[in-house]
């Protein structure tokens, strides 16, 4: 809804799948230090396309990649928009992940697009993702990229849905308190995929921020 809905007159829109996801297969997804590697890949891709400074919009893991990208390569990122994202993993986050870790318990509506993309490989991919988060929580004190936040110089918009069951509400305050000059916007009834349900409002919000 963003690649189709955001203005192509105002922006050059580039969407990408990190290695191991979507159309960027092979290779198989490697969850070793994956946020840092994804950030480096994203920067390299943009440079290869001729963009040495750009804005980034990221959802969930894509937003975390955006945080790492903007923190470690500040000269490359003009503005940053993230939603459904976090810089650390809390106990509540792990409890949420545990509740959705069994793909067989998902509704058909939730499973359908994933199995259409990944086929029978999806359950093992999802299990590997859940385990990667558990490893960060158990062996790295839950820290994903907290040290990168103060290094971000890009104007940053943090969007959060108050009914997001995947990302605890505490992360909104943490991000806006630790990213210099960050601003926030809350969708009171928004869930983790708020950009689908509130497409028009979300797109207008992002366009206004990126254009200002």
Q: How many CA atoms lie within 13 A of 41 on its CB side?
A: 16
Per-residue tokens: 75: 């000269």
Catalytic, out of 121, 174, 185, 192: 192
pLDDT tens for 33-58 read 999 999 999 999 999 999 999 999 99
pLDDT tens for 10-39 read 999 999 999 999 999 999 999 999 999 999
Per-residue tokens: 157: 């918009």
Catalytic, out of 60, 90, 101, 185: 60
pLDDT tens for 93-127 read 999 999 999 999 999 999 999 999 999 999 999 99
* 50 backbone dihedrals φ, ψ, rounded to 5°: 95, 10
Active site residue 24: no
Q: Using the predicted structure, report yes or no on whether residue 1 has a pLDDT greater than 90.
A: no
């Amino acid at each position: 809804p963003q690649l189709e809905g955001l203005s192509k007159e105002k922006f050059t829109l580039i969407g990408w799948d990190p290695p191991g996801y979507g159309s960027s297969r092979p290779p198989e997804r490697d969850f070793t230090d994956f946020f840092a590697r994804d950030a480096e890949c994203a920067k390299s891709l943009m440079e290869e396309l001729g963009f040495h400074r750009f804005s980034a919009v990221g959802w969930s893991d894509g937003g975390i990649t955006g945080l790492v990208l903007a923190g470690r390569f500040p000269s490359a990122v003009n503005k940053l928009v993230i939603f459904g994202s976090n810089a650390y993993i809390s106990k509540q986050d792990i409890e949420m992940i545990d509740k959705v870790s069994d793909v067989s318990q998902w509704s058909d509506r939730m499973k359908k697009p994933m199995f259409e993309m990944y086929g029978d490989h999806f359950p093992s991919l999802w299990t590997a993702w859940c385990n990667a988060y558990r490893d960060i929580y158990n062996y790295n004190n839950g820290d994903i990229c907290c040290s990168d936040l103060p290094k971000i110089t890009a104007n940053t918009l943090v969007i959060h849905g108050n009914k997001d069951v995947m990302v605890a509400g505490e992360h909104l305050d943490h991000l806006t308190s630790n990213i210099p000059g960050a601003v926030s916007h809350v969708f009171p009834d928004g869930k983790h995929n708020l950009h689908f349900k509130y497409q028009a409002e979300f797109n207008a919000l992002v366009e206004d921020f990126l254009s200002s």
